Chains A and B, each alone.
Chain A
Amino acid sequence: MSHTANRDRRIAAVFLIPAIVVLFATTIYPMLYALWLSFRNYDLAKPFIPRIFVGLANYAEVLTSKAFFHALITTFKLMAMTLSAQLVLGVGIALLVSQKLPGMALARTLLLIPMMISPVIVGLVWLFLYFPELGYLNYFLGLVGIGPVPWISSTQWALTAIAIGDIWQWTPFIMMGTAAALQSLSPEPYEAARIDGNSRWDVFRYVTLPQLKPVLVSLLFLRAIDAFKIYDIIFVLTKGGPADATEVISLYIYRQSFTFWRMGVGAAASFVSLIIISVLITLFFKQMQRGQAARAR
C-alpha cells in the first residue's frame, strides 16, 4: 500500500514540475534577483561597472528620502479618495440594481464594462475626456458654467483626476460583490421590518449594512491592495506629474529605476513597500478575526 502511495506521489511530482519551473522563472527568480539587487549599487547608465555590495545603503536612502515618503502619502491619499468613493457608489448602485425593476439585469451587466477594460485604455479614455480645450468633460462643465478645469495639468487637480478614472473603473467591482451579497440575504426579515414599519434608512443601516459588512470589508481589502500598486492609469495620464503631484509608490520606483537608472534603489523601495503592505495585510486579518470572534460571542 505504501508502495503505491509512494509511486502516486512520485507521479504527482512529475506532473508538478512544469508548473514549478514556470513559477520559479516568472516570480521567484525575479524576486530573488530584485532582493539581491537591492543590496547592490547597480547603475543602468553604466552597465559595465561591477555591481558592488553596498549593504543597507539603498534601504537607508529610501527610508530617509523625502520623495519616497511623499510618494507613500500620495498613495494613501489616492487610496482614501478612491476607496471611499467606490464604497459609497458601489453599494448605492448595488442597492439600485437589486431592485425588482425592468432593465436592472441589463444595467447590472453594462455597469461591469469599465472593470473589463485594461487600465491603460481607461487612462487613454480619460486622457481624451480631460483634454483642456477639446475634452468632453470641460465642454459639458462649460455648458453649466463651470471651468475650464485644468484636470491633469495642475498640481491641484491631477490627483483628483486620476482618482476619478480609478473610481470609474473599479466602482463596478464593489457593486458586483455587493449585489451578489444582497441576493444572498434572506427576504423575510425585510418583510418583518415592513410590517413593523421600520424606515428605509433604518432597515439599510441596521439590517442590510451589518449583514453586508464582512463582504464589504473583503472587497475594500482587495481594492486596497490594488490601489497600493496603482500604476498604469497614472502613467498614461500624468506620468506622476505635474511636478510630483501624482507620484505614487510604483511611479517612484519606476522613476528611480528607469529615469535615474538606479536599479538598486528601485529594488530597495520595492521591498520597503512590500513590507508595508504585508504589515497592513497582517493587521487587517488580525482585526477581521477579532471582529469575527466578537460577532460569535
Chain B
Amino acid sequence: MSSVTLRKVVKRYGQVEVVHGIDLSVEEGEFVVLLGPSGCGKTTTLRMVAGLEDISAGQLEIAGRVVNDVAPKDRQIAMVFQNYALYPHMTVRQNMEFALKPQKLAANEVSARIAEAARILGLEPLLARKPAQLSGGQRQRVAMARAMVRTPKVFLFDEPLSNLDAKLRTQVRVEIAKLHRRLGTTVLYVTHDQVEAMTLADKIVIMKDGHIEQVGSPEEVFAKPRNLFVATFIGSPAMNLLPAKVAVVNGAPVLVANGFRLAAPPSIVSALDPGASVTLGIRPSDIRVDEAGDYEAVVEVDEYLGTEVLLNLRAGNHELVAQVPAAARPAPDRQSVRIGFDAARLHVFDTQSGEAIR
C-alpha cells in the first residue's frame, strides 16, 4: 500500500498555476526526495501534502484515505521546517510536550517518548535549554525530535539542512539517514541540493517549473536521465553536452560532432534517424584520458581536488570537463592529452524535444 499518493495535483495562486497536475506515489517506509531548482514548486507540493496549502485540483491520499479536505492535524504527518519553527520561549522538553499535547497521552507516556527521542538524537543534555541557547544543528535535531515524538505516518521535511554550514550539513544528513533506517517511517523530503537527494533518497523526484521531470532511484536518474534537464541537473561536475548530427557510415549510424565521430550506443542504434540533430551527453567521469585515446585535447586548466582532478579541456571547438583520479593526473607541464569515449556510456538526446533517445 502506498503511503502518500498525488493524482493530478494542481496548485493555483489566483490566476497563476504553479504546480501543473503532478502524479506521485510514495510507498510505505520509502524515503522520497523532491529535488529541483529554486521556484519549481517543491515547497508548494510539500505544503499541500501537509495541508498548509489548499489543493486547487486533483486528489491527495495519505494511508489510503483521500485527505484533500482533512485538517493538517488529522493527516498523521509531522513536518520539519527549514528554520526549525521551534517555540522560542519554551525549553526543548516543553517544545516536545506542546507538540504532544493534542494527543492527550498519559504523563508517563509523554516522558517516555521524549526520553526516547532525546536519546536517539542525543538531546539528553539539552532538554532544559531554550532554542536560543542551541546551535543550528542542535535546533534542527530538536525539530526532528519534536516531529518524531508524535509517531506520525509520514515525515515531511522542507530543506532541513539549508541553514546549516557545510560540515554540519553532512553530519545532520547522516543523522536523518540513521533516523529513517531506525524508524522506517515514510519520508517526503524537499531539497535543491543534489548531494542530499542522492545520499538520502530511495526515490528522487526531479521537478522543474511545476512539472515532474523524472522519478527514479538515485542510480537511475544518474545513469539514465530521461531528458536534458535531468541530465544536466544531476551530477557534479555537470554532464558535457555536444551538438551532433546522425550520419550513416557503412550502414551503421555514427554521431558526428564537429571533429568527433562517435559510434552510437548499441542499445539505441535502431532509434536513430539519419540526419537528425541530437545532443550528446558525456559525464566528465566517462571521458577516458590515456595514450590510447582517439582525439587530441589541450588541458587549459586542471583543478586538483585531492582524490581526483578536473581537467578543463579544449578539443577542436569543444570545451569539455573530464574527471580523472588524481593518480592519473597528466603531468602539470603536459599541455596536450589524448582522450577517448566509450560508446555504451554516451547519452543521446533529441535536440528539439530534449528527450533522451532510447
Chain A residues within 8 Å of B, Cβ to Cβ: 186, 188-189, 191-199, 202, 206-207, 210-211, 295
A198 touches B101 (CB 8 A): yes
B90 cross-chain contacts in A, Cβ below 8 A: 206
* 8 Å CB contact of B52 from A186, A195, A198, A210: A195
Q: How far is the CA of A199 from the CA of B150 in the complex (A)?
A: 16
Q: Please give 17 more A-B residue pairs, beta carbons under 8 A apart, in addition to A195-B77, A197-B71, A206-B90.
A: A186-B85, A192-B79, A192-B146, A193-B98, A194-B72, A195-B51, A195-B75, A196-B98, A197-B103, A198-B98, A198-B101, A202-B98, A206-B98, A207-B98, A210-B89, A211-B88, A211-B89
B89 cross-chain contacts in A, Cβ below 8 A: 210-211, 295
Chain A's nearest CB lies how many Å from the CB of B107? 17
B50 at the interface (CB under 8 A from A): yes
A188 touches B99 (CB 8 A): no
Q: How many A-B residue pairs have CB under 8 A?
A: 63
* 8 Å CB contact of B101 from A188, A195, A202, A210: A202
From known contacts A188-B81, A191-B52, A191-B81, infer whether A196 and B87 are also in contact, taking CB-CB under 8 Å: no
Give the nearest-CB partner of A190 in chain B.
B85
Q: How far is the CA of A199 from the CA of B86 in the complex (A)?
A: 17
Chain A's nearest CB lies how many Å from the CB of B102? 4
Chain A's nearest CB lies how many Å from the CB of B85? 3
B234 at the interface (CB under 8 A from A): no
Could you tell me which residues of chain B, from 80 to 128, have a CB within 8 Å of some CB in chain A?
81, 83-90, 98-103
B40 at the interface (CB under 8 A from A): no
Chain A's nearest CB lies how many Å from the CB of B200? 22
Q: How far is the CA of A194 from the CA of B102 in the complex (A)?
A: 11
Which one of B71, B78, B79, B85 has the greatest number of beta carbons of chain A within 10 Å?
Answer: B85
From known contacts A188-B81, A199-B102, A206-B98, infer whether A194 and B73 are also in contact, taking CB-CB under 8 Å: yes
B74 at the interface (CB under 8 A from A): yes
B98 cross-chain contacts in A, Cβ below 8 A: 193, 196, 198, 202, 206-207
Q: How far is the CA of A195 from the CA of B102 in the complex (A)?
A: 10
Chain B's nearest CB lies how many Å from the CB of A111? 28
* 8 Å CB contact of A207 from B74, B81, B87: B87
Q: How far is the CA of A265 from the CA of B51 in the complex (A)?
A: 69
Q: How far is the CA of A193 from the CA of B87 in the complex (A)?
A: 9
Can you show 18 pairs from A to B with CB atoms below 8 A apart?
A: A188-B81, A188-B84, A192-B79, A192-B81, A193-B98, A194-B72, A194-B73, A195-B73, A195-B75, A195-B77, A196-B150, A197-B102, A198-B102, A206-B87, A206-B98, A207-B87, A207-B98, A295-B89
* 8 Å CB contact of B78 from A195, A198, A207, A295: A195
Q: How far is the CA of A198 from the CA of B97 in the complex (A)?
A: 11
B86 touches A196 (CB 8 A): no
From known contacts A195-B51, A196-B150, A198-B101, infer whether A188 and B83 are also in contact, taking CB-CB under 8 Å: yes
Which one of A192, A194, A295 has the greatest number of beta carbons of chain B within 10 Å?
Answer: A192
Q: How far is the CA of A188 from the CA of B52 in the complex (A)?
A: 11
A197 touches B74 (CB 8 A): yes
Could you tell me which residues of chain B, from 33 to 50, have a CB within 8 Å of some CB in chain A?
50
A191 touches B73 (CB 8 A): no
Q: How far is the CA of A199 from the CA of B104 in the complex (A)?
A: 12
Q: How far is the CA of A194 from the CA of B156 in the complex (A)?
A: 14
A196 touches B52 (CB 8 A): no
A196 touches B88 (CB 8 A): no
Chain B's nearest CB lies how many Å from the CB of A183? 16
Q: How far is the CA of A11 from the CA of B75 in the complex (A)?
A: 71
Q: How far is the CA of A195 from the CA of B50 in the complex (A)?
A: 7
* 8 Å CB contact of A194 from B52, B100, B103: B52
Chain A's nearest CB lies how many Å from the CB of B105? 13
Q: How far is the CA of A197 from the CA of B72 in the complex (A)?
A: 7
B75 cross-chain contacts in A, Cβ below 8 A: 195
B81 cross-chain contacts in A, Cβ below 8 A: 188, 191-192
